[in-house]
Amino acid sequence: MFTDHTLTVYSILVLHGPNLNLLGQREPGVYGLTTLNDINQMLIAEAEKLQEEGLTLKVTAFQSNHEGALIDAIHGAIGQHQGIVINPGAYTHTSVAIRDAIAGVAIPTVEVHLSNIHRREAFRQHSYIAPVAIGQISGFGAESYRLGLRAIVAYLQQQSLNTHP
Ligand code: CA2
């Protein structure tokens, strides 16, 4: 009888879109007091917690206010990261280019939002990203990111079980 001691290692890229660098510093009434750094630290803490479940998780976070920089980061994920968690910010509602990049790299991606975009203005209720994402988590504040990280990891684990039963 063989016991599989294979170490499961996943590297996840977390992308934050435009204006999210202002989190916790401006408009706390809309987006709360949590800063982007708080969110990134929370995700690193979550990765350490998953370590106790036998999973080695590396989290790399990147924020940009520029569409092209986000697209370059998505392209750069090929061969480096197994999953992406992205809050595309306002590009959610405008960017065919980010959608094409996600579809192009074919890396499983979870879309996250702090606010519930479906109960906000009509223009925020459409996402160009959702059709190329595994799923969308929206409306739980900073917790959306933690849930997004959990979701991508659960997806990758399931995929690996399907490939190597
Ligand atoms: O709810 C979300 O996470 C959004 O992606 C946030 C975007 C918004 O355009 C999307 O419709 C929904 C805006 C992020 C702006 O963040 C700020 C934070 C503090 C001050 C000003 C903007």
Q: What is the pLDDT along the chain (165 residues), one digit of tens a residue?
A: 555 555 679 999 999 999 999 999 988 888 889 999 999 999 999 999 988 888 999 999 999 999 999 999 999 999 999 999 999 999 999 999 999 999 999 999 999 999 999 999 999 999 999 999 999 999 999 999 999 999 999 999 999 889 877
- Ligand 1 atom with minimal separation from the 120 CA: 11
What is the Å distance from ligand 1's center to 19 Cα? 7
Q: Is 125 helix (H, G, I), strand (E, B) or coil?
A: coil
**Which pLDDT score, from 0 to 100, does residue 7 have?**
60
Phi, then psi, of 49 in degrees rounded to 5: -65, -40
- Ligand 1 binding pocket, CB closer than 6 Å: 19-20, 22-23, 26-27, 31, 87, 89-90, 92, 113-115, 117, 124
**Which pLDDT score, from 0 to 100, does residue 128 have?**
98
Residue nearest to atom 18 of ligand 1 (CA): 23
**Which pLDDT score, from 0 to 100, does residue 38 have?**
98
**Which pLDDT score, from 0 to 100, does residue 165 have?**
73
Q: Provide the annotated active-site residues.
A: 31, 113
Full DSSP string of 46-115? HHHHHHTTTEEEEEEEEE-S-HHHHHHHHHHTTTT-SEEEEE-GGGGGT-HHHHHHHHHHT--EEEEESS
Q: Label the pairing between strands 83-87 and 55-63.
A: unpaired
Closest CA to 134 of 154, 160, 163, 117: 154
Output the pTM of the full model. Answer: 0.95
What is the Å distance from ligand 1's center to 7 Cα? 37
Closest CA to 57 of 130, 154, 137, 143: 154
**Which pLDDT score, from 0 to 100, does residue 87 have?**
98
**Which pLDDT score, from 0 to 100, does residue 6 have?**
53
